[in-house]
Amino acid sequence: MSPDLYHRRATCRLCKSSELISVVQLTPTPPANAFVAEEGIDQTQSVFPLELFFCERCHHVQLLDVVNPDYLFRDYVYVSGTSPSFVRHFEEYAGNIIKRFQPKPRALVVDIGSNDGTLLKFFQEQGQTVLGIDPAVSIAKAASDAGIETWPEFFDANTVKRILAEKGKAAVVSANNVFAHADDLAGIADNIRALLAPDGVFVFEVSYLGDVYEDILFDTIYHEHVAYHSVGPLKQFFAAYGLDLFSVCRVSSHGGSIRGLVQIAGGPWRSDESVEALIAHEQALKIDRAETWSNYGEKIISVGERLRGLLSEIKGEGKSVAGFGAPAKATTLMYHFGLGPDIIDFIADDSPLKQGLYSPGLHIPVIPAIEIYQRKPDYRIILAWNFAKPIMDNHKKFRDDGGKFILPLPRVEIY
């Protein structure tokens, strides 16, 4: 496979140790958002290893197989603003940060991986100066055109030098579900420290490893997510780079995430008990032990057997099954459980960026959600399971007309 597309690193991206153990092996997949147009469906897409490693020194869980970020992110098709629940989440998020830290009017807020600017819009409405940094060229342009200045760049040292020269220090730097995306976390930590004002705050959200373990949310493992975070390793990591993780809370997004608050070491914000409380929780779950993750694969197999058995029974009765939602996590779930076009006839999604395309590798067509009512499948498997409630609430008519929903995770259930 071309080294331009993929490489395997040899050290932990948090502590740089080479004491790494392979603990979970999932089915290799294409990049989770590598949707293709109709003219590309006859071409076989490259797949990459999807293998989870545990660091024996700092207990961080991660992928070592790294797909070129240009390949992953320059033509990105995920946007936050198409999800009403995420819009509400970001509105609450911005309000919480402003209320707690009270940045001055027109203070600089920089969002790393800002996507379509949904979060920054709420900071802007509160009188802050905002800047998005996102390598997805078309999404960055659309955000800028909508009034949220967005640079189509990666958050590297050159970008930070430009921000400092043109905008100055930042009162708030945020990164939402992207601190898990970067291979060079050490470089990002250095860049955040350089960009923050002395009383500034770095706030990040990432899927929480504790939830990934407890609810068997294995489909959140895909190539964009090279790091699977827990609080213990993160506290050590930030301290090593002159930063202080002083508060953490759990939030419901993506099936279970954490929101962490970080300041320059010696900064003015008081640490609370949340960091140590979550470290104790992780120790109780034993997710800081390699053997816990070595047994995780068996739990995944058990879920897969239940789901595949149910879907095979449904198809054997001559019933039709459609997917609902085409999130990145669906690629991992469908590949690992063998859910191809023989099982799922099509996938409905609300995002115009995905409609008319075909799913990564398996090439299942993606259609607008409204077409569900013309095609009338018997069952809809909710691939975007973290939005199951609003999806079912918004499509009550589907159930009223006799259709049924299947929830694959955290438990296989029919509604």
pLDDT, average across residues 228-251: 97
What is d(CA 329, CA 60) in angstroms, rounded to the nearest whole number? 21
Mean pLDDT of 370-376: 91
pLDDT band at 153 (very low <50, low <70, confident <90, very high): very high
Task: Quote the CA–CA distance of 238 and 134 in Å, as a whole number.
Answer: 23
What's the pLDDT at 74?
Answer: 59
Give residue 352's pLDDT. 87
Q: Which residue has the higher pLDDT, 191 or 1?
A: 191
Q: 312-371: per-residue pLDDT in tens?
A: 999 999 999 999 999 999 999 999 999 999 999 999 998 888 999 999 999 999 999 889
Provide mean pLDDT across the span 296-312: 94
Q: Average the pLDDT over each of 14-18, 83-87, 311-315 and give the range with the smallest value.
A: 83-87
Read off the pTM. 0.89
User: Where residue 375 falls among pLDDT bands split at 50, 70, 90?
Assistant: very high
| pLDDT confidence bin for 223, thresholds 50/70/90 | very high
Give the pLDDT band of residue 133 (cuts 50, 70, 90): very high
Flag whether pLDDT at 82 surpasses 60: no
DSSP for 306-352? HHHHHHHHHHHTT--EEEE---HHHHHHHHHHT--TTT---EEES-T
Tell me how far apart the terminal alpha carbons of the chain are, to the nearest angstrom: 43
**Could you identify the residue written with the tokens 């008319």?**
356
Rg of the Cα trace of the chain? 21
- Which residue is listed with tokens 């699977």? 228
